[in-house]
Chain A
Amino acid sequence: MFEWLEDSAIAVWVGESLYGYPFMLALHAVGLSIVVGIFAMRDLRLLGFFSGISYESIDDLRKVGWAGFGVNAVSGFSLFTSQATIFVESTPFLSKISMIFLAAICAAIIQNRMRDEAAAWDESGTAAVGSVRVIAAISLMLWLGAIISGRLVAYL
């Protein structure tokens, strides 16, 4: 299956054309800065930083974060196809994908909790409840881990 993927039209364009690979890499860096940047800012807010910004208002940015996630799903998949058989056996790559999967689950849990509870935290002026703060901290660690293992794909 991964060999078939490597022979697909998108894989050949990304892997062999002059601009395909660098174009997708640049797009992947842009998407990374958006998805990790936005979700990290939301996580930091939940952990108690920049307290003048309401929880509800920072949660409004989730669509921007998911847009970055989408950009990287597409650019990441096309980069993957160009060397699918190598990536699929790379430990750092597999750990990166696992961490991104878990970070996406954290983001979904956080936004569900915020949809129901953020207005109340803002109104009472209290901190986000402990369980959400724990998920925010885990989310930050997962994004950090995804960046570290993503970089190591090129080295290990």
Chain B
Amino acid sequence: MENFVQAIEGSAVNEWIMGSYWAWPAMEVMHFIGLSLLLGALLVIDLRLAGFFRKINIAAIHKLLPWAFAGFGINLTTGILFVIGDPFRYTANIGFWWKIGLLGVAGLNALWFWWKINPVMQSWEPHADTPALAKVIAWVSLGSWFGVLILGRLIPYIGTG
């Protein structure tokens, strides 16, 4: 980890982020926009997958997925830039590693959704209840992503290892 931090400290991107007055707040603004898109799309999808709001056509809910991907892409990019910008602060922070761990859970759960639910979801009854597996995946998704959000916001306040 020390080598990793040393390799990043002093790199061109690191120096650009640290040297620019506006880079950090601009990245934070993008990170908040990304999280709103990601969680907004996921709330609609997961609440319906969990069996609520059955007026929403579940066979068409996949149309929201690109917005979730877009939000995730924005946040993956800005998130990597945060770490490159201030590698020691993040790698020394236990809250950051919990967040990464929970991101792993959220990612595996998303793969589970992608393999087991997404291919069949479009042929489901549009306004019917959902299978138990869909409900489990929806709740794990909401729990893990909101956990990621909360841990991310608490990074400045959680012990720095």
Contact = CB atoms under 8 A, between A and B. Distances in A.
A82 to B, nearest CB: 14
A117 interface: no
Nearest to B22: A155
Nearest to B145: A33
Interface in A128-156: 143-144, 147-148, 150-152, 154-155
B18 to A, nearest CB: 15
Contact of A60 (B53, B150, B153): B53
A75 to B, nearest CB: 11
A22 interface: yes
A36 to B, nearest CB: 4
A110 to B, nearest CB: 15
Interface in B132-161: 146, 149-150, 152-154, 157
A111 interface: no
B60 A50 contact: yes
Contacts of A88: none
Interface in A8-59: 21-22, 25-26, 28-30, 32-34, 36-38, 40-41, 44, 49-54, 56-58
A61 interface: yes
A38 B149 contact: no
Contacts of B29: 147-148, 151
Interface stretch (B3-11, B39-47, B80-88, B112-120): B39-47
B56 A40 contact: no
A120 interface: no
Interface in B43-67: 43-44, 47, 53, 55-57, 59-61, 63-64, 67
B153 A52 contact: no
A73 interface: no
A30 B35 contact: no
Contacts, number: 103
Interface of A is mostly: helix
Interface residues of B, number: 32
Contact of A33 (B40, B57, B60): B40
A64 interface: yes
A26 B153 CA distance: 6
Nearest to A29: B153
Contacts of A40: 36-37, 40
B55 A60 contact: yes
Nearest to B21: A155
B40 A41 contact: yes
A103 to B, nearest CB: 12
10 contacts: A25-B157, A33-B36, A33-B149, A34-B39, A40-B37, A49-B67, A54-B55, A54-B56, A56-B55, A57-B55
Interface of B: 25, 28-29, 32-33, 35-41, 43-44, 47, 53, 55-57, 59-61, 63-64, 67, 146, 149-150, 152-154, 157
